[in-house]
Amino acid sequence: MQEPSGRPVTIAQVARDAGVSIPTVSRVLNGSAPVAEETRRRVDASIERLGYHPNPMARGLSRGLSDVVLVILPNITQPSVNLRLAGLISVLRETPYELTLVDLEHPDSERKRHLADIVARHHAAATVIISLPPSTADTLQLLRQAAPVVLVDVRSDAFPGDGIDDIAGGMIATRHLLGLGHRRIGFVGDAEDRFIGNPASANRRHGYEQVLFDAGIDIRPDDIALAPHGMDTAKAAALDLLDRSDRPTAVFAASDVQAFGVMDAARSLGLDVPGDVSVVGFDDIVTARLVGLTTVRQHLEVSGVRAGLRLLELLGQPLPFEMPEFPELELVTRSTTASPGDAHPIRSMAAALTGAAASEKEVSTAFDPAFGRDERIPRRK
């Protein structure tokens, strides 16, 4: 309940309504000291009548504890981030913990880029960091703080968490296109920030470059288009990539959202997908199934579930169910990839309208020995 002014009811108003002191209301809420039964009933009645809801962080701190789990993430509107968060929430929903979200929409911002400072300001019982790798300085500072930290979509020797092999994922996508006969393969990915951004896109690009190098195919800088993450920015990057006579016959996009941008760019240029250009994404979000996108599937919600269970373990809480296995990456072949020049407009339309191709799943374990040399390409800086 709120006052007519819109402000939430305070503990002072409860105390005034019940005719007791603020410390007495606090003792009733926290059970920190005996309170006369008549007094407790008056306080409880005032709380119910006024609709008072104690701030979980303040209440926890008054007991020397906190009921708050801090979640730091990069742009909650991203589907992959949203699905990981959904998995975490599904585990913590029936626990006494409240989630406080800090959404770093622009994680390269100078003002916000120090994760450890954000954690220190919130005094939470524990912290979950999604898709943001802590710097060395952050790691050292976080290790000095008492509250546990769990990572999602980031590999670290310092903190528990799951992270996929993004290089391997980039190789899976690129090998699929090579296996179809493509030799000019473009890449659309994230602008590679030096500070705090997720390195997933860069690592997927490394996998793409490694497979081309192993196949003896020149890596052309003009076939690689990097832009801030998003569908519209990916479309702009793909227009530059595809609007030329020597365009690639296939494009690997570092995420499904970016793949949608590539497909939109192709449509704007009058190009058929996959007849004129094949497109592969990464993640396998729900929309990918609806439009028939060939993609590398990672199990986003499972990563959030596993983080939630790890968190409960670290906090000494019982687990509601056993820890699920973390599935391997897999290639899901749908209607946006074909051999160069093979147009399938009817199949593409049917897949987009019905999602019928969603059942075509291929776990990419095959590897052409011709592409299997051990020599490693130097990483682009």
Query: What average pLDDT does range 38-50 have in this prediction?
Result: 88
In a domain, 147, yes or no: yes
What pLDDT is recorded for position 37? Answer: 86
Residue 371 pLDDT > 70: no
In a domain, 381, yes or no: no
Do 67 and 59 form a contact (C-beta atoms < 8 A)? yes
What pLDDT is recorded for position 181? Answer: 96
What pLDDT is recorded for position 13? Answer: 83
Does one domain contain both 147 and 26? Answer: no
CA distance 220 to 191: 17
Residue 182 pLDDT > 90: yes
What pLDDT is recorded for position 250? Answer: 97
Does one domain contain both 119 and 192? Answer: no
Q: How confident is the model at residue 364 (pLDDT cuts 50, 70, 90)?
A: very low
In a domain, 85, yes or no: yes
Query: What CATH number is associated with residue 124?
Result: 3.40.50.2300
What pLDDT is recorded for position 267? Answer: 96
How do residues 65-96 score in pLDDT, each as one tens digit? 568 899 998 878 889 999 999 999 999 988 88
In a domain, 353, yes or no: yes
Instruction: Count how many residues are written for the chain.
Output: 381
In a domain, 321, yes or no: no
In a domain, 40, yes or no: yes
How do residues 51-64 score in pLDDT, each as one tens digit? 876 655 455 544 44
The burial of 313, by beta-carbon neighbours within 10 Å (0-12 exposed, 13-18 middle, 19 or more buried), is given as: middle
What pLDDT is recorded for position 289? Answer: 93
> Percent of the chain, pLDDT > 90?
48
In a domain, 1, yes or no: no
Does one domain contain both 147 and 241? Answer: no
What pLDDT is recorded for position 346? Answer: 44
Most confident of 17-21, 97-101, 298-302, 345-349: 298-302
Structural domain count of the chain: 3
Query: What CATH number is associated with residue 46?
Result: 1.10.260.40
Closest to 154 measured CA to CA, from 138, 178, 141 = 138
In a domain, 379, yes or no: no
Does one domain contain both 73 and 93? Answer: yes
Closest to 278 measured CA to CA, from 173, 371, 365, 355 = 173
Residue 110 pLDDT > 60: no
Look up residue 216 and give its DSSP letter. T
The larger pLDDT score, comparing residue 362 to residue 154, is at 154
What pLDDT is recorded for position 360? Answer: 34
What pLDDT is recorded for position 20? Answer: 87
What pLDDT is recorded for position 285? Answer: 94
- φ, ψ of residue 115 to 5 degrees: the values are -60, -40
Q: What type of residue is 344?
A: H
What pLDDT is recorded for position 25? Answer: 78
The larger pLDDT score, comparing residue 98 to residue 62, is at 98
Does one domain contain both 308 and 254? Answer: no
Does one domain contain both 150 and 192? Answer: no
Does one domain contain both 236 and 101? Answer: no
Q: Checking phi first, is residue 52 left (phi over 0); if not, alpha (psi -120 to 50) or beta?
A: beta
Does one domain contain both 198 and 253? Answer: yes
Does one domain contain both 260 and 277? Answer: yes
What pLDDT is recorded for position 7? Answer: 61
Query: What average pLDDT does range 350-358 have in this prediction?
Result: 38
Does one domain contain both 213 and 332? Answer: yes
Rounded to whole angstroms, what are the CA distances from 373 to 134, 192, 252, 367, 369? 34, 28, 22, 11, 8
Q: Computed from CA positions of residues 110, 114, 115, 119, in that sequence, does the dihedral angle turn out positive or negative?
A: negative
How do residues 252-294 score in pLDDT, each as one tens digit? 999 999 999 999 999 999 999 999 999 999 999 999 999 999 9
CA distance 175 to 366: 9
Looking at the DSSP bridge assignments, the partners of residue 2 are 8
Does one domain contain both 266 and 153? Answer: no
Closest to 305 measured CA to CA, from 84, 61, 8, 105 = 84
**Residue 273, SS3 per DSSP:** coil
How do residues 316-325 score in pLDDT, each as one tens digit? 888 999 999 9
Does one domain contain both 210 and 133? Answer: no
What pLDDT is recorded for position 120? Answer: 78
Q: How confident is the model at residue 358 (pLDDT cuts 50, 70, 90)?
A: very low
Domain that holds residue 34: 11-54
- Name the token pair of 62: 């008054």
Q: What is the mean pLDDT of the chain?
A: 81
> Percent of the chain, pLDDT > 70?
78
